[in-house]
Amino acid sequence: MINNLLIIGCGLIGSSILRACSKKKVVKNIFVKEKSKLNIKKLKRLKNKFTIVNDLEQIIPKMDLVIICTHMSEYEKIISSVSKYLNAKTILTDVASSKEKIIKISNKKLKKGISWISSHPISGSEVSGPEHGSENLFHNKWCILIKEKKTNIKNLKIISKFWKRLGSKIVIMDAKKHDLIFSLTSHLPHLIAYNLIKTATDFERRRKYNLINFSAGGLRDFSRIAASNEIMWRDIFFSNNNNLSRVIDLFISNLKSFKKDILKNNNKVVLRKLKDAKKVRKKIIKIKQDINKPDFGRN
């Protein structure tokens, strides 16, 4: 059991870690550093036992584990301010969705001998804030742990055990591979969703048609993804911009070829593309990455 855990930034993910650690007795004492007064008010309504802290200088030397759960754009400042109080026995981790740039920052800002093991639990929602957290958020979900040349293997094992106790399934990869994979499975889908909603609303404004009224035929699904937290997603897009740019180009090139096939009534090619895409859904259901109900069980 970990004795002392500090969660820095306690929104959806931070408060889910808090709830799960408390419920599953993974940690003895939980401390929370949160700058938003509104979030603190919401956190105080939780029944879980934890302590709100302000003074990092006093608290950090006592910690076994520190998890940064703020927006990525705050990482540089936070790492700078915690670095001076950290000692070698404390493990530092985070939950960011994009890794190469924040690992560069940590290499620059952290003093030598501090163990940073970067984590990415693949769980979230279009809602944010501590009131939406859940003790089951990580249950049966992937958690990616980043292993680089310098990674301390002993501490990697400790972090792996920590996430497993919260219910996660662990995969280990390097930051480069992580950022490439998630540029396609998560960052591009979000950008596409935002862009589709933008295209629809631009068009609506120009034509004065009430498009949103008729969003049940497909658009509404994209609107859920495009309702995700804007600070979080700006940070991800900026942080993983090079991979994202490359997969945007692939996407556009495929879309142009699709358009050509459609305009030419290219029956065989279009049917093959649609059939191939359909197979992926079956695989996703089979490996339990989504619910096996038509229309996500909405109706």
Amino acid identity of residue 13, one-letter, is I
Confirm if 95 and 145 have CB atoms less than 8 A apart: no
The owner of tokens 């006592």 is: 62
Give the CA dihedral 55, 61, 65, 71, nearest 10 degrees.
40
Give the residue, chosen from 105, 110, 158, 180, that forms a contact with its own copies under the rule CB under 8 A.
Answer: 180
Q: Specify the DSSP element, H or E, that contains 256.
A: helix 241-263
Contact mark string toward its own copies, 226..265, x via CB under 8 A: xxx-xx-xx--xx--x--xx-xx-xxx-xxx-xx--xx-x
Binding to its own copies by residue 122, rule CB under 8 A?
yes
- Among residues 61, 77, 126, 161, which is the contact residue for its own copies, using CB under 8 A? 126
Instruction: Please tell me whether residue 217 binds its own copies under the rule CB under 8 A.
Output: yes
Binding of its own copies at residue 176 (CB under 8 A)?
A: no
Identify whether the C-beta of residue 16 lies closer than 8 Å to the C-beta of residue 134: yes
Nearest to 8 by CA among 49, 56, 58, 64: 56
Site for its own copies in 134-163 (CB under 8 A): 134, 136-137, 141-142, 144
**Interactions with its own copies, residue window 96-115 (CB under 8 A):** 97
Does 23 bind its own copies (CB under 8 A)? Our answer is no
Pick from 22, 48, 125, 160 the residue near its own copies by CB under 8 A.
125
Site for its own copies in 54-83 (CB under 8 A): none
Nearest to 39 by CA among 9, 72, 3, 65: 9
Q: Which is nearer to its own copies, 88 or 262 (CB)?
A: 262
**Interacting residue with its own copies among 49, 150, 207, 208 (CB under 8 A):** 207
| Under 8 Å between Cβ of 92 and 83 | no
